[in-house]
Amino acid sequence: MRFTHSGPAPKDRNDLKTLKTLLPYLWAFKWRVLLAMTCLVLAKVANVSVPLYLKDIVDQLSVPATLLAIPVAALLGYGLARLMAGLLGEIRDAIFARVIQGAVRTVARSVFEHLFKLSLRFHLDRQTGGMSRDIERGTRGIGFLLNFTVFNILPTLLEILMVAVILLHRYNGWFAVVTMGTIAVYITFTLVVTEWRTVFRRSMNELDSKANSKAIDALINYETVKYFNNEAYESARYDTNLAAWEESAIKNQVSLSFLNAGQGVIIAVGVTLIMVLAARGVVDRTMTVGDVVLVSAYLTQLYSPLHFLGFIYREIKHSLADMERMFGLLETHAEVADGTGAEVLATRAAGVRFEHVDFGYDAKRQILHDVSLSIPPGRTLAVVGASGAGKSTLSRLLFRFYDVSAGGISINGTDIRQLTQDSLRAHIGIVPQDTVLFNDSIYYNIAYGRPGASREEIIEAAKSAHIHDFVVGLPDGYDTLVGERGLKLSGGEKQRVAIARTILKNPPILVFDEATSALDSRTEKAIQHELAEISANRTTLIIAHRLSTVVDADEIVVLDGGRVIERGSHRQLVEQNGRYAEMWLLQQESENTAEAL
């Protein structure tokens, strides 16, 4: 199964499950939540008291002029109720702010950490741009959900309940029936139509992620686009996705207009019926002018937020849809995980063994077949072979980016599946063929080998990698920015940064994965010398295509079609006159021809 953003949201999720997933992140702040809820209830009690005081004021001011007196108690109560409603609301917001932001931060960090626990297979199948959009929308959805649930839906529902009780207690039961009936019809209509509209929002999300992924992919590969004059092609491809998003967005807006219109009709009918009942009560002398003001005030307090409640509910549904995919990432199974009771590797003399290893990235296509290798502590093993022979797969398995299909890999006799991944990778340093640097300074990229290192240690590593003189000669020195993926540096300069980073890490196991294959011969020879220096007395695995880089290895293994077909020292393999000797002869002829030219 491929994990792509073009597919639908997870089918097995629902809103209740999403909320259950979110709940533990909120309950970490349970005392703040409880205090905020207390303030919410008290604020609503104060808010519902306001029309009661207003009724008393109007009734007392409606008597004949000879009996007129200022209703001090009612006025003070009215002012205090208004003050407390506003003040308690602000206190609630201030208390709950840490709950919202803390939950958003914790969820975002959890998703980020989980993504690094997932296997390389997962990340190769994902598009980073779309995935980052999913996380961005999901965390924004959490903030929106909490804000409007706690600050709008719960207060409104609580207020509706209290108003219904007051209307039943003080007036004809029809007031409560009409009020609650209108609200029930309103909520039912909103739920039904919003459920129908959700499909448009999901479609917009998926198309937005897809368009964003295409755009980021094209921008990351800016040079390739320019090389092939494909600007128009990329723009057309991007616009095709935008056009599909546009159609979905239009449908979303039309359905929104229908929902708003229906809600307006329901509220208008409800308000009209309530005012008819109030007017009849005054005519029949069963209600005073103050009672009409009271009912009118309650209508204003209820239906204004209730109209907003429709928007809030829609947005909450959208937020839940946005959160689905983000929480889906958290539920993605980690293909490679630490076993129960995994040991922490701690050694400076590491012996590595591959024993009868089988592996395939896909079950239909096996890459390695019964591969057995051994690298004693402090020795160097080179693996050579044609492209596609499975050489680089060995380094990925050693780092445990994948687990072997059969057989095992061990360090000092312990299967790496019984070791913690952190301690395993802390013992291995790599200089890859394609060194990708962070879009930051040279200093940052070298320091990445050991973030806690001092400046003196970082500079010493740069000197050992023979890049210090180059760096200090730059206008900004170690603060020079290397650009996206390190593109401001040449291939040789990037490799030296990678070497300095590995030296700083100071691991007992080194992997050189085609570390010089992309360089010219002169640069290659210079870097080869540096690699030889740092690999001295370390357990080293060299993966190479150019045989000139491995002649000094303690043992050389030839892979062909994922199988070991020859092994021995350089001299032994040449004397065997087999595949290695053939490759050596061809490369020597090629180099001689290049020198002659």
Q: What is the pLDDT along the chain (597 residues), one digit of tens a residue?
A: 333 333 334 444 467 777 777 888 788 888 888 888 888 888 888 888 888 877 777 777 766 544 555 677 878 887 888 888 888 888 888 888 888 888 888 888 888 877 777 767 776 666 555 677 777 778 888 888 887 777 777 888 888 888 888 888 887 788 888 878 888 888 888 778 877 777 777 777 777 777 787 788 888 788 788 877 888 888 888 888 888 888 888 888 888 888 888 878 887 888 788 778 878 887 887 777 777 777 777 777 776 776 666 667 767 777 887 788 788 777 777 777 887 888 998 888 899 999 999 998 877 788 899 999 999 999 999 999 887 778 888 988 998 888 888 999 999 989 999 999 889 989 998 888 777 888 889 999 999 888 888 999 999 989 888 889 889 998 989 998 888 777 788 877 888 888 889 889 989 999 988 776 656 666 667 677 777 878 888 899 998 887 888 888 899 999 988 899 999 998 999 888 888 898 888 888 766 665 555
Sole residue written with tokens 């958290």: 330
Sole residue written with tokens 């953003």: 5
Number of residues that make up the chain? 597
Kindly list the strands in the beta sheet with 352-359, ordered across the sheet, starting from the edge strand earlier in the chain. Answer: 368-375, 352-359, 406-411, 414-415
Return d(Cα 261, Cα 290) in angstroms, integer: 32
**CATH number (domain holding residue 451):** 3.40.50.300
Sole residue written with tokens 């003070």: 76
**Do 149 and 85 share a domain, yes or no?**
yes
**Do 259 and 218 share a domain, yes or no?**
yes
Q: Which of 476, 470, 482 is CA-nearest to residue 438?
A: 482
- Please compute, for residue 224, the number of CA atoms within 13 A of its CA located in the half-sphere on the CB side: 7
State the residue range of the domain holding 454: 435-506
Name the domain boundary from 301, 331, 361: 331
**Do 63 and 195 share a domain, yes or no?**
yes
Look at residue 341 and tell me if it is in a domain: no
Look at residue 422 and tell me if it is in a domain: yes
**Do 378 and 254 share a domain, yes or no?**
no
pLDDT reported for residue 353: 93
- β pairing state of 563-568 and 414-415: unpaired
- Please compute, for residue 338, the number of CA atoms within 13 A of its CA located in the half-sphere on the CB side: 14
**Do 219 and 152 share a domain, yes or no?**
yes
Look at residue 346 and tell me if it is in a domain: no
Return d(Cα 597, Cα 313) in angstroms, integer: 74
**Do 387 and 450 share a domain, yes or no?**
no
**Do 316 and 358 share a domain, yes or no?**
no
Task: For the beta carbon of residue 528, count every other beta carbon within 10 angstroms.
Answer: 18
Ordered alpha helix ranges (H), 62-172: 72-117, 120-125, 128-148, 154-170
The DSSP line for 140-177 is: HHHHHHHHHIIIIIHHHHHHHHHHHHHHHHHS-HHHHH
Q: Which of 577, 524, 580 is CA-nearest to residue 555?
A: 580
**Do 442 and 556 share a domain, yes or no?**
no
pTM: 0.64
Q: Are the C-beta atoms of 356 and 371 separated by less than 8 Å? A: yes
175 backbone φψ class: left, alpha, beta (φ>0; ψ -120 to 50): alpha
Q: Provide the domain count of the chain.
A: 3
Look at residue 145 and tell me if it is in a domain: yes
Look at residue 368 and tell me if it is in a domain: yes
> Which residues, in sequence order, are bridge partners of residue 429?
510
Return d(Cα 479, Cα 489) in angstroms, integer: 13
Look at residue 563 and tell me if it is in a domain: yes
**Do 224 and 286 share a domain, yes or no?**
yes
Name the domain boundary from 455, 476, 506: 506
Look at residue 579 and tell me if it is in a domain: yes
Name the domain boundary from 331, 360, 385: 331
**Do 420 and 439 share a domain, yes or no?**
no
Structure tokens at 498: 């990678």
**CATH number (domain holding residue 82):** 1.20.1560.10
**Do 141 and 187 share a domain, yes or no?**
yes
Return d(Cα 440, Cα 457) in angstroms, integer: 19
Look at residue 4 and tell me if it is in a domain: no
**Do 242 and 296 share a domain, yes or no?**
yes
Return d(Cα 559, Cα 27) in angstroms, integer: 55
Q: Are the C-beta atoms of 353 and 527 separated by less than 8 Å? A: no
